[in-house]
């Protein structure tokens, strides 16, 4: 549906400004990203409000997206699959983040996320896909630095939330960060590829296509 709408708008825009085929393809691609992000955001807001987990869900989403933007990570093969799995994942994380944990457990959790984050950033960032990989050494180093800075800011923010007793907010940031970091690792790729293959077998490209 989003792809069809993007094509219609992109083609109409191309005719209006007399753009060539390559420009129209760029318009369509950009529209798919924008509309997809908008629909996913609306779905997350709606369902998280229904389930009473809006605040923690948004915390998970923000930390996940920020790490992913700089660090990269695995994707499912189609937008619909990314949409469905992404929404479900964030709602589950948002629900888990409502659990009450002690300050000491959260501090330990934070320390573990920092250690794992440093290891993952050093070894696997930037994590690309078959269609988009960063191969230039200097650019790789820059992405590692940006991801490390992002991890630092999120860790400090999480620690501050712990200090002022916003424990669920801290927990949500940590869950989003760790989830995003996991999808950078080879294990994250294996899990998502296995999920993709399972969906192919179950629906043969139908429901989540």
Task: Look at the alpha carbons of 143, 67, 126, 111 in this order and tell me if their dihedral is positive or negative.
Answer: positive
User: Does the pLDDT of residue 209 top 50, yes or no?
Assistant: no
Q: Which of 3-17, 46-60, 189-203 has the lowest mean pLDDT?
A: 3-17
The answer to whether residue 209 is domain-embedded is no
The answer to whether residue 208 is domain-embedded is no
User: Does the pLDDT of residue 137 top 50, yes or no?
Assistant: yes
Domain membership of residue 2 as a residue range = 1-50
Question: Please, which pLDDT band fits residue 208 given cuts at 50, 70 and 90?
Answer: very low
Q: Do residues 73 and 160 share a domain? A: yes
Q: Domain boundary residue among 10, 29, 50?
A: 50
Q: What is the DSSP string of 38-98?
A: HHHHHHHHHHHHHTT-HHHHHHHHHHHHHHHHHHB----SSHHHHHHHHHHHHHHHHHHTT
Q: Which of 67-76, 96-105, 159-168 has the lowest mean pLDDT?
A: 67-76
Residue 53 in tokens? 């987990």
Higher per-residue pLDDT: 24 or 173 = 173
Q: Do residues 32 and 124 share a domain? A: no
**φ, ψ of residue 72 in degrees (nearest 5):** 85, -160
Considering its fold, how many domains does the chain have in total?
2
Q: Do residues 3 and 81 share a domain? A: no
pLDDT tens string 11-67: 777 777 767 777 777 877 777 778 888 888 999 999 999 999 999 999 999 999 999
Question: Please, which pLDDT band fits residue 147 given cuts at 50, 70 and 90?
Answer: very high
Q: Do residues 166 and 198 share a domain? A: yes
**Quick one: pLDDT at residue 203?**
66
User: Does the pLDDT of residue 86 top 70, yes or no?
Assistant: yes
Nearest to 57 by CA among 166, 185, 175: 175
**Quick one: pLDDT at residue 205?**
47
């Amino acid at each position: 549906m989003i792809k069809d709408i993007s094509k219609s708008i992109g083609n109409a825009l191309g005719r209006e400004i007399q753009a060539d085929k390559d420009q129209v393809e760029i318009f369509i691609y950009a529209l798919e990203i924008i509309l997809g992000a908008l629909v996913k955001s609306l779905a997350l807001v709606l369902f998280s409000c229904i389930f009473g987990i809006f605040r923690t869900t948004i915390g998970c989403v923000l930390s996940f997206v920020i790490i992913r933007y700089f660090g990269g990570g695995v994707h499912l093969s189609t937008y619909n699959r990314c949409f469905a799995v992404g929404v479900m994942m964030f709602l589950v994380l948002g629900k888990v983040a409502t659990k009450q944990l002690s300050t000491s457990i959260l501090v330990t959790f934070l320390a573990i996320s920092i250690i794992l984050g440093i290891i993952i950033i050093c070894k696997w960032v930037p994590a690309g896909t078959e269609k988009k990989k960063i191969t230039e050494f200097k650019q790789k180093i820059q992405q590692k630095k940006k991801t490390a800075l992002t991890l630092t800011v999120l860790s400090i923010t999480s620690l501050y939330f712990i200090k002022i007793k916003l424990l669920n907010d801290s927990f949500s940031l940590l869950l989003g960060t760790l989830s995003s970091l996991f999808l950078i690792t080879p294990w994250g790729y294996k899990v998502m590829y296995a999920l993709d293959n399972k969906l192919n077998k179950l629906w043969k490209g139908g429901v989540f296509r």
